[in-house]
Structure 1
């Protein structure tokens, strides 16, 4: 039972295509959990990515790989709310849904990168998002996150995250798989085995 007057739980939201999840995703998630003092970090694989031109791997595979990657990690959970929802995946709808499910007081933090922060005013429902979450922005060490001109004019809560020095990308992983090259150094071993077992990304 929670003690009266206890501080609200701190819950992070970490969304992405995770196509596939890789070590840089895990590194950033760990930084977010530890630097922000999160009680939980919800990994949210995107459902229908309205901003992506390419076709993503089926949601069932991306969810499965995310679950394999976070297994055994303190406070990490995978939410399937976006893949279960029809239509484009808008973060504001995800935040509303997750907050409605969560009993009791909580502080919500949305983990994003500098590029996303700079273009945040183009997000669907962004002004409501600013009222619901604190933005946790991953940027280069020693460099202050810079909002776009429109966002700069709107008061909002922000916490800065030091970006882990890892240059891995999902594009690189997919390309290596397509060329028949190993990806064990780029993704968790369980994810590498899953990719091989299900022959993902081999026909790019």
Structure 2
């Protein structure tokens, strides 16, 4: 029986918003994903620590994806007290899923541009494909010719490769450019400004009920 691509989507999700959800829905439709596993991290190594607690971020994801059959939640990284390095996670997923199963890890274009600064970045592609969503304001080419050459060497020639090869390809998706960021949402909430158009209503309700992102 043919194996189809399974995909994971990591991040801080502080809070989860439409800029997370809608591009992933678009990439799922574009390449034929039936399930995307959202995996919030606990201690992100490359950015400031989240304002909301692990349990609060998990709860916001749960209410955001409730009733959406595309998404499910994997909270394994929230159980870690140490920094969440992507390579550790994808190596664990590869061991669980077996050597032949095609695996994908969804990142934004901003993350791709800095990907070669990630811990053991080269090992990540031995475990999974990178599925890249577009982000407003970020270049579609890498910072220098050497990194651009690396990108072109790994680009998927067609979508079928993502479903037949277990790992090693990079797919640049044509996803909607949504000018939404968790940082901007937190800033607006700190200032008491509305954010109803930027994130699902159940997430906004949770933020209000629990008094999150106030200053």
User: TM-score scaled by structure 1?
Assistant: 0.86
1:121–1:151 contact (8 Å) kept in structure 2: no
What SS does structure 2 have at the residue aligned with 1:82? helix
Distance, in Å, in 1 between the alignment partners of 2:85 and 2:126 is 16
Higher helix share: 2
1:145–1:8 distance in 2 versus 1, CA, 3 Å: farther
1:89 aligns with 2:84: yes
Distance, in Å, in 2 between the alignment partners of 1:58 and 1:145 is 33
1:187 aligns with 2:187: no
Match of 1:119 in 2: 114
2:43–2:49 contact (8 Å) kept in structure 1: no
Map 1:157-176 onto structure 2 (within 5 A).
157-176=169-188
What SS does structure 1 have at the residue aligned with 2:102? strand
Question: Deviation digits for residues 13-69 of structure 1, max 9, x if unmatched?
Answer: 111111001111111110121112113211111110111135432111111111111
1:103–1:72 distance in 2 versus 1, CA, 3 Å: farther
1:9 aligns with 2:4: yes
* Deviation, structure 1 residue 72: 1.4
* Deviation, structure 1 residue 107: 0.9
1:28 aligns with 2:31: no
* Deviation, structure 1 residue 150: 4.2
2:141–2:148 contact (8 Å) kept in structure 1: no
**Unmatched runs of 5 consecutive residues or more in structure 2:** 155-168
Distance, in Å, in 1 between the alignment partners of 2:122 and 2:148 is 9
* Greater RCO (CA < 8 Å, at least 6 residues apart): 2
Distance, in Å, in 2 between the alignment partners of 1:150 and 1:169 is 26
The RMSD of aligned alpha carbons is 2.3
Distance, in Å, in 1 between the alignment partners of 2:135 and 2:193 is 30
Match of 2:163 in 1: none
Map 1:67-146 onto structure 2 (within 5 A).
67-102=62-97, 105-139=100-134, 145-146=140-141
Count of aligned pairs: 197
Match of 1:3 in 2: none
**Unmatched runs of 5 consecutive residues or more in structure 1:** 1-5
1:176–1:139 distance in 2 versus 1, CA, 3 Å: closer
Match of 2:157 in 1: none
1:9–1:39 contact (8 Å) kept in structure 2: no
User: TM-score scaled by structure 2?
Assistant: 0.82
